Amino acid sequence: MTDRDLLFERQQRTAIALVAVFGLFDICSRLPSLQAFAQGIPSPASEVNWQQLAAPLIAGIQSVSEPKLAASLTGSASAKPAAVAPAPIFSAPQRFQGQIVDRAQLSGDEKVIALTFDDGPWEQTPEILGILKEMDVKATFFWVGKNVQTYPEIAKQVVAAGHAIGNHTWDHPTNSMDRETAAKQIDSTNDYIFETTGVRTALFRPPGGALLNGLADYARNRQDAVVLWSVDTRDWQASTSVQMLVSTVLNEAKPGGIVLMHDGGGNRWRTVEALPAIIAGLRELGYRFVTVPELLEMQEKEIIAAEAKAAQAAAAESQPALPPQ
């Protein structure tokens, strides 16, 4: 596990402990006998209840690595600390962290595909959201930080609708840059996404798919998954008609694929018009829609299953042959 995984796990444990504490305080305020205990009035019934309820909880809190927080929680029942909800994080399984992916390598027959939308949030994002909702599809949006700043309410709508979020820099540079500039582009966007929507992301898509201008290197160093695509709709080009857009996706779709489209950066009316036909056409071909993190999670499961199978086979081979009878 990376340090980040450990930290995230700790944050989750802290949040679970906090939720449990608040639940307990709530019970205390409702049950007179427990309330009596909380106020320091001993009562046999309340003591039993309190100890029974609190023992596993306090053990849980003590296992949390932030000693100050644990002490403040166990020290006084009357001080209510501020609630700390864990931020949902959109990330790839560990083996893809710091790696570049353009599709999931799936061996099975399951036809899954991930639709992705770049350069938003934008005026037309709500139209895209409406179609995705209507057709029951979850997608992945790679955001430009300054557009999140311009359309914070639309950004919140995307998150509320349950789509996955990735980072697409602050203002979409494609030129070469030093590490400090790359850090600013990526970190400020991550921070702004978190401040605006409460989610974190460890998925990064470099503008233009450029891998050599410093951005992808910085993202890989911070263990982001660098997410490219396997189907490029070129929906941003005026020469791409709605029909071309639809047929590109349907012709080039493969299980585990990642489809690049745009909800932002310009008038995306072609994308809006093509989307229902793209979704319906892919469904007709047998596809199911997943987000990029879900897609990589599927590959992870396959790899783990294959490794277990290989280990089993190796173990069977190393067994000494039975002597002839």
Catalytic residues: 118, 262
120 contributes a contact to Ni ion by CB under 5 A: no
Q: How far is the CB of 297 from Ni ion (least distance, A)?
A: 25
Q: How far is the CB of 141 from Ni ion (least distance, A)?
A: 11
Instruction: Give whichever of 90 and 236 is closer to Ni ion, judged by the CB atom.
Output: 236
Instruction: Give whichever of 144 and 272 is closer to Ni ion, judged by the CB atom.
Output: 144
Instruction: Give whichever of 103 and 168 is closer to Ni ion, judged by the CB atom.
Output: 168
- Select from 14, 21, 37, 118 the one that contacts Ni ion (CB under 5 A): 118
Give the residue at shortest CB distance from Ni ion: 118
Q: How far is the CB of 145 from Ni ion (least distance, A)?
A: 12
Instruction: Give whichever of 119 and 224 is closer to Ni ion, judged by the CB atom.
Output: 119
119 contributes a contact to Ni ion by CB under 5 A: yes
Binding to Ni ion (CB under 5 A): which residues in 198-227? 207
Q: Who contacts 192 (Cβ-Cβ below 8 Å, separation ≥6)?
A: 145, 148, 149, 170
Q: How far is the CB of 168 from Ni ion (least distance, A)?
A: 6
Q: Contact residues for Ni ion (CB under 5 A)?
A: 118-119, 207
